[in-house]
Amino acid sequence: MKLKNNLDEMQEQKLKQIEHTGFWLFFWGIFLAMMIQIAFFSGKNIWLAAGEFAVFLPVSVWVAVQCLRNGIWDRRLKSDPKTNLLVSLIGGLIAGVFCAIPVYRNFGSLPGALATFVFTFIFTAVVCFATLSLSASFYKKKVRAMETEPEGEEA
Amino acid sequence: MAKNLKIKAARAEKDMTQGALAEAVGISRQTVNAIEKGEYNPTIRLCRAICRALGKTLDELFWEDEEDEA
């Protein structure tokens, strides 16, 4: 049974704005909660943030796939290699810091923490850059296909 | 966005309140109010519905000269 929509177009737009803000609050809230749990509360239990991760990862993948399918990259960032590299380095830096903290807290080893930081930083940055480059090529291919679509044939 | 005084004037011509126009078009009064205050930019579909309810054309109610559009 399909329920009748009680909202007019302006209210619908407002609701979408509210949902948009709510989504990003949830997104970054869960991300922050995961990072804090991993860095400060996980101890030796690496599965502590598994519940959040099980929600966060599929939602992130879904959003990314939907954007690519619709030929959308980002509001402000470009899909060029320079931007992708910068974003990957920032991602690597964040992952490195949050993975090094529990090593230092649990084992008190600064060299160990530094090694974890360097390894995580490089690994995350490389994986991030490869994923972004692959996504950018899909995105460009999709945009090209949409731009050359014959008139009258809409998706 | 500039205020839409043309809708207000057309309503007055027909002796319609914002509520009556809202009911005729099938939207809320707050939306009519927002359109008149220039706070909401309606879709072409809603513009046409408002025009029909007020017996006016799109040009008469929604056309703006370039200097008024800012």
Using one digit for the tens of pLDDT, what is the confidence trace for A73-127?
999 999 999 999 999 999 999 999 988 998 888 888 899 999 999 999 999 999 9
Q: pLDDT digit string (tens) for A27-59?
A: 999 999 988 888 887 766 767 888 898 999 999
Identify all chain B residues contacting A10, using CB atoms and an 8 Å cutoff: 27-28, 30-31, 34-35, 40, 42
If one counts the domains in chain B, the total is 1
Residue B1's pLDDT is 74
Q: Would you state the pLDDT for residue B56?
A: 96
A6 at B interface, C-beta within 8 A: no
Rounded Cα distance between B64 and B9, Å, is 15
Whether ipTM exceeds 0.85: no
Range of the domain at B59: 5-64
Question: Is 60 exceeded by the pLDDT of residue A155?
Answer: no
B55 to B5, B49, B52, B64: CA distances (angstroms)? 16, 10, 5, 19
What confidence score (pLDDT) does residue A106 get? 84
> Sign of the CA dihedral A90, A95, A97, A98?
positive
Please tell me the distance in Å from B34's CA to the nearest CA on chain A. 9
Distance, in Å, from the CA atom of B30 to the CA atom of B25, rounded to the nearest integer, reads 13
Within a domain: B70? no
Question: Residue B70: which pLDDT band, with cuts at 50, 70 and 90?
Answer: low
> Domain residue spans in chain A?
9-69, 76-150
